[in-house]
Chains A and B, each alone.
Chain A
C-alpha cells in the first residue's frame, strides 16, 4: 500500500510541477507538500480514508471488494487508475468505467480511453488541458483533512480496526493497568443470584442461556441479564448477574434442570470468592508432580507426570511397570494364550528378562536404555504411558517412602522435595496444622487480594482472619478478612529472631538475615550455619535456648559417652545437631552426633571406685571434693576409671556437672546409708590380716556357697502326686518344697523336692542324685556310667541273674558290681559305709558284713531314693543290690514294701524272695519259682 502511495505522490508532484503556472498557487502547493512530508503517515491515512469514503462509504466489505477489484484489474489499468485516483472526478470516472465496462458500448470505452490517454498526455505534454479546478478541489480536500482533529481521527481508526479484530481491547500499558483490588465490587454493582440447578447440568445451562441471550439480543425484547456463570467448585448452582431479579425469571422461563425458586442473592463481599481463579485445593498438573492412577492395571500406583499432551487431555506419566513378560501366561488346548490375571509386582523394566521371555515384543527405542515393549515405551526402566486426565488423581496422593524409593532407583539427584511438597500440600491442610498465630504479620500470597498485608486476628484450622494494615487502598485498612491459610505468607524482617516450628530444621532458632520470596534465610543459633526455611515454618522466638527432642536422639543429656578410644565424657547440653560433652579430663567439647562413637552403659558393679579414704563409692553416692579451691559437692553420676562425673545442685554451668579425680573426693553419704566422716579411716580395711579376698576368690566362693537353691530355674519333671508326669520350671524353692511352674499350663504347683526329676545336661536325673553330687564331681562318672547302665543294665541283670541262680558264680556279679559301685559311691557322697560296698561287691554274697555295717539303714534310704528317683536305671540298680543282699533285705521289711510298691510286682517277689534269699543257699529253686511267677511282670518292666 505504502508503495503505491509513494508512487501516487510522486505522480502528483510531477503533475503539480508541470501544471502550475501561477506563482501564488505554486507556493501554496509547496507549503502543502512540505507539510505533507512532515506528517506523512497521517496524511497517508487520510488518503486511505478518502479512498474509502469515495468508493464505498464506510462499508468495509466494499472496501475489501475494491481491493479485490484492484487485484483483478490488469496492471496497466491499475497504473492508470493510480495516476488519476487523486482527482475526484477521475476517481469517479474510474468507478463508472468499472461499472460501465460490463454494459457500455465500445465507443464509450474508447472515448474514455482517449480521455484518459489525454490525461496521460497531460503528464507528458504539460498543463493546457488541465484546468485548475481540479487543483483547487484537491487543495480543499486536503485542507479538510487537516482540519479534522486528532480525536476524530483516532475515533475513526478505532472504529475501523475494531471491526477487523486488529486491535486488542484488553489491558495495555497505555490504557493503564488496574489493580484487582480496585475492581472490588460495591453495592452499586449489579446483583449476582445463585440459582439451584441439577448438578452436572451447570455448563449446559450456561451455554443455553448464552444462546438464548444472543438470540434475543437483536429483538426488541432482549434478556436483561448481564452474565451467567458457573464454577466447578460450586456444584448445583449457576450464577446470573442481573440488575433486577425479574430479569432472571424471564431468562430462565422455559428452561429445564434449573430450580428457579431456589434463588439466592449472593452478598456483595462474596463476589470475589465466586470468581477466584485459584481454589486452594487445586493441584495443577505440571510435569514433575506426583499423581496416582485411578484406573486400569496401574490403579492406585504412584506416578510422576512426565508431560502433558498437546491437547492437554492426556498426561504422560512415568511409573514403575508391572510386567511379568508373559511368564505367567498359560495356553489352553488350542494353543491360545490365556493372560495371567495376576497383577505383577511393580518392578523396573528389565531388558534381559524381556528378551528372555518375550523377545519378539521388544524393540529398541530411540536412545540407549529406551525400549518399546508391547507398544509401550520404557525409559531407564520406567514406563512412560499416556493416561487420560480424568484417570489421574492429583489430590491426596500421599506417596509412601517405599514408593518414592522405587522412583529413586536410578536417580542420583535425590528426592524432589518440591514435588512432594505439592503432593503433601493437601495433607497439611486437611490436618489443619496451622502455624499462624494471632499477632503474626502476614501477607496474602496470591489471588485477588495478593500483596495485602495484615495481622492475624484469629486462626481456625484452614481459615485465618486477618486485619488489614496495608493494602494500597486506605479505605481497606483495618478491615477483617478471612483468608485460607495456604494463601498466607508470614512476613519477617531481617534481624528478627525466629524459631523453626516445622520441617527438617525443627526447633532451631536463628536470626533472619535475608528474605527471599516465600523462604527466609536465617543463621541458626545452634549450628551457626545458614538455613533456608519456608517463612510459614517460622514463628518469632523469644528465647534462644532449645532442647532437643529426646525421642529423636540416640543420646540423652547426662549420658556417659565414648568419644574415641581414649576419651569419654558426659553430655551436658544437647542441641539439634550437636552435643556439648564434658570429657573426663575436664574439657568441654562441642561434638556432632556422629562424633560420638557409643553410649557407655556400664553396669552398676563396674562403676565402683574408692574415694580418697578408701571407702567404696558408687553411682548415687554423695561426695565432696577435698582438694581444689571450691570444695564442690555433689552426687556421683558416672564413674569412669579414676574420673568421677558429679552432678551438683550448686553449680549452674554444664548442668551442674563437673568432673574430678576419685582421689580428690571423700564420701559424704552413700546412697543407702550415712557414713560419718568422723569415724576416720575404716580400720577393718586397713588391717592386712582381715583383708578381704580378691574379687576372683569371692566369685568362686559365691558359686560354691550357692546362696540360691540349685533347683531354682531348672527344668524338672514331677514323679509323684496328682501332677505326676508333668514338667515345669522351678520358680521358688525352700528346704523341702519347690514351686514349679508347669510347662503345660500356666500354673504353679508346690511339690516336694524329692518327688522331682531334674533335667541336667539333657538327661533326667532324680533330685537326690542331682543334689547329691556336685556338678563338677559327677562329671567324670556321669558320662560313662549312665549309658553303660542304660544300655547294658537289663541284659546284665537278666544275664547276671541266671548265673547267680544257676551256678552261683560270682564273677558276673563282681563285674557288675564294680561298675555299679563306681557309680554308687559318688551318689551317696560321704557315706563311708558305702566305701565298703565295693568290698562287698568284690565278695559277692558277702551278706553279713554288708548287713552289719549299717548298710540296711543306708539301704532304706537308698530305696526311698530309688522311689523318688524312680529312674529306670536306679530302679534296676536297687534291684541289683537287693539281689545281692538277701539277708539284709529280708530283715528290712519297711524298705521292701516301699520298694515293692514301686515295682508293682514286689509283694510276690518280696515274699518269695525273702525266705529263699534269707536262706541264701537254697535260693536257686525258690528264685526260680519266683522267677516264673514274676517273669512276665519283670520282663515288662
Chain B
C-alpha cells in the first residue's frame, strides 16, 4: 500500500501521481481509458491507490523477463506496480473487449 497520493493504472499498472493522470493521462492506456481531463472520475475508477511492489522499467526493456512476466514489456518506461488492488468497472471491461483489448486484472485474480 502506498501512502502517497500516487495511483496505479489498473490496466497497465503504471504508477503516477493522481494529478499526472488527470493532466497527462496514462502513457500506455490513454487511447483506451482517456484519463486526461476526464471529468467523469475515470481516474478514480480505473486507477487504484492500493498497489504493491514497485518495478522500475527502463526504455530498453525488450529483454527483460520481469517486464515480460508482468506484461509490461511493451509499455512506456516508468514505475509499475506488481499488484494493483481493484478491478476495472464492468462497463469499461466490456468496452475494452469491444476494442479487442484483453483485460487481465492485476490484483492477483487473473487465472491462466
Cα A389 to Cα B68 with chains together (Å)? 32
Q: Are A210 and B69 in contact (CB under 8 A)?
A: no
- Asked if A230 CB lies within 8 Å of chain B CBs, one says yes
Nearest-neighbour CB distance to chain B for A356, whole angstroms, equals: 42
In the bound assembly, the distance between CA atoms of A161 and B28 in angstroms comes to 12
Scoring B residues 28 to 72 as 1 if CB is less than 8 Å from chain A, else 0, what string do you get?
Answer: 111110000000000010001110111111111101111111110
Binary A-proximity of B54-93 (CB < 8 A = 1, otherwise 0): 1111111101111111110011011100110110000000
- A418 smallest CB distance to B (angstroms): 16
* Residue contact B56 to A207, C-beta cutoff 8 Å: yes
User: Which B residues are in CB contact (< 8 Å) with A389?
Assistant: 1, 50
Which residues from A are CB-within-8-Å of B17?
A: none
Q: How far is the CA of A313 from the CA of B4 in the complex (A)?
A: 9
Query: A278 contacts which chain B residues (CB < 8 A)?
Result: 83, 108-109
Q: Looking across the interface, which residue of chain B has its beta carbon closest to that of A213? A: B58
CB distance from A312 to the nearest CB of B (A): 4
Q: Classify chain A: how many residues form its interface, as a range.
A: 35 or more
With an 8 A cutoff between CB atoms, is A214 at the interface? yes
User: How many angstroms from the CA of A203 to the CA of B75 in the assembled complex?
Assistant: 21
Pick the residue among A166, A207, A230, A231 that contacts B31 (CB under 8 A): A166
B112 contacts A275, CB within 8 Å?
Answer: no
CA of A442 to CA of B61, assembled, Å: 37
> Which residues of A (191-205) have their CB < 8 Å from a CB of B?
192, 202-203
A230 to B51, CA, bound (A): 12
Q: How far is the CB of B19 from chain A (nearest CB, A)?
A: 12
Docked pose: A420 CA to B74 CA in angstroms: 41
Whether A822 is near chain B, meaning CB under 8 Å from some CB there, is no
The residues in A between 845 and 901 inclusive whose CB is less than 8 angstroms from any CB of B are none
A222 and B58 alpha carbons, distance in the complex (Å): 11
A277 touches B83 (CB 8 A): yes
**Contact (Cβ within 8 A) B28 A169:** yes
| CB atoms of A173 and B69 under 8 A apart | no
A165 touches B (CB below 8 Å): yes
Q: Does A378 contact B (CB under 8 A)?
A: no
Q: How many CB-defined contacts (below 8 Å) exist between A and B? A: 166
CB-CB contacts of A227-239 with B at 8 A, as 1s and 0s?
1111110000000
Taking the complex as formed, is A808 at the interface, i.e. its CB lies under 8 A from any CB of chain B? Answer: no
Q: For chain A, residues 418 to 471, give those with C-beta under 8 angstroms from any C-beta of chain B.
A: 446-447, 450-451
CA of A563 to CA of B51 in the docked complex: distance in angstroms?
A: 62
Evaluate contact between A165 and B56: CB separation under 8 angstroms: no
Q: When each residue 387-403 of chain A gets 1 if its CB lies under 8 Å from chain B and 0 otherwise, what string results? A: 00110000000000000
A232/B50 in contact, CB under 8 A: no
Within the complex, the shortest CB–CB distance from A273 to chain B, in Å, comes to 11
Most buried by A among B27, B49, B61: B49
Is A185 in the interface zone, CB < 8 Å from B?
yes
Contact A226 B50 (CB under 8 A): no
Q: Are A190 and B64 in contact (CB under 8 A)?
A: yes
Given contacts A173-B102, A278-B108, contact A227 B64 (CB under 8 A): yes
Question: Quick check: is A180 within 8 A (CB to CB) of the other chain?
Answer: yes
Q: Is there an interface contact between B56 and A180, defined as CB atoms closer than 8 Å?
A: no
Query: Within the assembled complex, what's the spacing in Å between the Cα atoms of A207 and B56?
Result: 7
Closest A residue by C-beta to B74: A169
Bound Cα distance from A475 to B19, whole angstroms: 47
Complex CA–CA separation, A172 to B108 (angstroms): 19
Q: Are A172 and B102 in contact (CB under 8 A)?
A: yes
Contact of B48 among A202, A203, A312 (CB under 8 A): A312
For A277, the chain B residues whose CB sits under 8 A away are 82-83, 106-108, 110
**Which of B30, B54, B100, B112 is A174 in contact with, Cβ under 8 Å?**
B100
Check A227/B57 contact, CB under 8 A, given A189-B65, A450-B111: yes
- From residue B70, how far is it (CB to closest CB) to chain A in Å? 6
Contact between B64 and A241 (Cβ–Cβ < 8 Å)? yes
Q: How distant is A100 from chain B, measured CB to nearest CB, in Å?
A: 37
Q: Is A102 an interface residue (CB 8 A)?
A: no
Q: Which residue of B lies closest to A161 (CB)?
A: B31
Check if A830 is an interface residue, CB within 8 A of chain B: no
Among B28, B70, B78, contact of A275 (Cβ-Cβ < 8 Å): B70
On whether the beta carbons of B31 and A271 are closer than 8 Å, the reply is no
A825 to B52, CA, bound (A): 102
A-B contact pairs, 23 of them (CB 8 A): A170-B74, A172-B101, A174-B100, A181-B112, A206-B54, A226-B60, A227-B55, A227-B57, A231-B82, A241-B64, A275-B53, A276-B108, A277-B107, A278-B109, A310-B44, A311-B5, A311-B44, A311-B49, A312-B49, A313-B3, A447-B108, A451-B111, A451-B112
Question: Which 3 pairs between the two chains have the least Cβ-Cβ distance?
Answer: A278-B108, A210-B56, A312-B49
Q: Write the residues of chain B forming the contact surface with A, with a CB cutoff of 8 angstroms.
A: 1, 3, 5, 11-12, 18, 25-32, 44, 48-50, 52-61, 63-71, 74-75, 77-79, 82-83, 85-86, 99-102, 104, 106-112
Which residues on A are within 8 Å of B, measured CB to CB?
161, 165-174, 177, 179-181, 183, 185, 189-190, 192, 202-203, 206-207, 209-210, 213-214, 217, 222-223, 225-232, 241, 243, 271-272, 275-278, 282, 284-285, 310-313, 389-390, 446-447, 450-451
A277-B108, A451-B112 given; name 10 further pairs at CB < 8 Å.
A170-B75, A174-B100, A183-B68, A206-B79, A207-B54, A226-B61, A227-B55, A227-B64, A227-B67, A232-B1
